[in-house]
Structure 1
Amino acid sequence: MNGDGLLDLLLANYGSNNVGILFGLENGTFLNQKIFETGLGSHPSSIAIGNFNGDNELDFAVSCDGTMDAKILLGTGKGEFSLEKSGQTLFTSAAVTMAAGDLNGDGLSEIGVVFDENDNIDILFTFKNVSFANKMTSSTAKLPYSVAVGDFNNDARLDIVLAIYDGNSVVVLLGYGNGSFAGESIFSTDKYPISVTVGDLNDDNLLDIVVANSGSADVSVLLGYGNGSFSPQITFSSGSQPWSAAVGDFNNDTRLDLVVANSGSNDVSVLLGYGNGSFADQTKFSVGSRPRSVAVGDFNGDTLLDIVVANSGS
């Protein structure tokens, strides 16, 4: 976020109504967070990183539960950000999460937003004056809770996958490359899917789907066929109340592994991948109280992947 070649952390601080950036140091430690206020009672809940104004510097959008809107903060590439007032977009209900990607081929990042108590996803289109003036709403199955983007049918156009909490399923929306999407395809998961991410888990160069199922203490893996459809789920045990999942190669065998943040057992599970879509039994590592989000990256420059966890209870 500051152009020094080191990974930084970006946090939505729900209780203190701000966003924090922790700039990374070469030894894997971080400077104290730099605060960017989002407004009294805003309660920021989700962040999406993208290039919203076409200057090739990283910006970010933040959804705020309390004010039911999204705000854009534009980056200079040197660790400074400014709140773009023309980029603020009001919602009809609180946003649960969002993801960014170029969904209409214009070279700018759009965001897909899913809402609490709302069965829709909104696609907010970006203009070079950094506004989200236009949006497209797609109806989904009941209560989408997480969103990710990827090319699931190999047409070089980004598609969307949603975790449907009350429907025990994921919904895939195939993109036409102009910001519109085909009708939904539904694939079953285990109980109360709450987080979705994507990666090539069986080394066939096709994207697969990983889902954290908060109600059944496991993760679902759905292997992609490259045409927008997926295999029936395969489940792998995690800790209690898995809340977030990420992929990365943690043992340097060139095969993707899984890490899962378990909110109910205050730990993370690492599942090493065999490269065929299956995984070894979990190994658990203790973290703080009620971990809700997990990410991976090389934070100390040793070319080995590290894990970072946001603990909502501590």
Structure 2
Amino acid sequence: MTNVRDNTLGILINKGDGTFPTSTTYTIGQNPTDVMAVDLNSDNRSDLVVAYAYNRSISVLFNNGNMTFGTAMNYTVGPSPSFILSADFNNDKKPDLAVCNQGNSSISVLLNNGNGIFGAKIDYATGRSPGSMAIGDFNKDGNIDLAVVNSGQNTISVLINKGKAVFSSAVSYNVDKVPSSISAADFNHDGNIDLVVANSGSNSIIVLFGDKNGVFASRATYKTNSYPDNVLSGDWNNDGKVDLVVTNGKSNNVVVFQNICKK
């Protein structure tokens, strides 16, 4: 977990019974805002990537294998990075990184050179204040594409991967007020990836249905409780259909949407 006020990263060790009795703290850069775990150097250990709100950088900390992490390696991204995501964007079987930069309405893509070392960033324009991302092969060409939530513009941006991690210019779709979170899955069992967006300012989620070309032309809107700030997709009842769970920040509860589509 990131601790913004004291500029540290806290790691809680799972005892094996679902409890976390011990923790280790690492001092990192100023104002850490997001952290993710992924094996970056193919040693079967989960490494850490951290973003910092007021810097133009992210840090990579390699897992030493004894529940400790090495010294942070820093990489330049855009201003005010807020969200990190990992996927193999250039099909070399190595996890790359994408970072939302709220300060200049862009994302940065960093390619893994093979041992967890990353090349220089490549930037792509999005809408205002990008704050969350989702991935999927939206147009079924074998390349991982990106969808980005733009909370300052009430839109999402879809960037199609043309191959070798080269992305097309963003295509914008209007959503509702203050979109804050996005997830991707095939919700209607047509074989195409769909998107769902949580809209904090309108107490709603919107499902955008994709076609085989990565176009999201139709949609459905569902009401939530107050200030939905995160949406996750998964088959919560093991019926083979992708359901949704939404956290509502101001009503302090969670809403589960069960998928009732016909398979």
Deviations 1:81-106 (A, max 9, x none): 34343xx2112322211222111121
What is aligned with 1:295?
232
What is aligned with 2:249?
312
Does 1:261 pair with 2:198? yes
Deviations 1:270-290 (A, max 9, x none): 001112110123321111211
Does 1:252 pair with 2:186? no
Alpha carbons 1:293, 1:310 under 8 Å: kept: yes
Q: CA deviation at 1:68?
A: 2.5
Kindly report which structure 2 residues correspond to 1:63-78, keeping only aligned pairs within 5 A, or say none. Answer: 63-78=2-17
Alpha carbons 1:197, 1:210 under 8 Å: kept: yes
Q: CA deviation at 1:191?
A: 1.4
Cα distance in 2 for residues equivalent to 1:78 and 1:251: 36
What is aligned with 1:81?
20
Does 1:173 pair with 2:110? yes
> What TM-score, normalized by structure 1, do the two folds share?
0.77
Q: CA deviation at 1:64?
A: 2.2
What is aligned with 2:158?
221
Alpha carbons 2:95, 2:112 under 8 Å: kept: yes
What is aligned with 1:185?
122
What is aligned with 2:149?
212
Q: CA deviation at 1:75?
A: 2.9
Cα distance in 2 for residues equivalent to 1:309 and 1:235: 24
Consecutive unaligned residues of structure 2, counting only runs of 5 or more, are: 252-263
Alpha carbons 1:293, 1:311 under 8 Å: kept: yes
Cα distance in 2 for residues equivalent to 1:246 and 1:98: 18
Aligned partner of 2:168 among 206, 231, 255: 231
Q: CA deviation at 1:108?
A: 0.5
Deviations 1:248-274 (A, max 9, x none): 111011211000011111111100111
Q: CA deviation at 1:197?
A: 2.0
Q: CA deviation at 1:308?
A: 0.8
What is aligned with 1:119?
56
Cα distance in 1 for residues equivalent to 2:213 and 2:139: 4
Q: CA deviation at 1:79?
A: 2.5
Does 1:275 pair with 2:208? no
Paired positions, count: 251
RMSD: 1.4
Consecutive unaligned residues of structure 1, counting only runs of 5 or more, are: 1-61
Q: CA deviation at 1:300?
A: 1.2
What is aligned with 1:93?
30
Alpha carbons 1:84, 1:130 under 8 Å: kept: no
Does 1:154 pair with 2:91? yes
Q: CA deviation at 1:177?
A: 2.1
Cα distance in 2 for residues equivalent to 1:83 and 1:226: 44
Letter aligned with residue 146 of structure 1: F
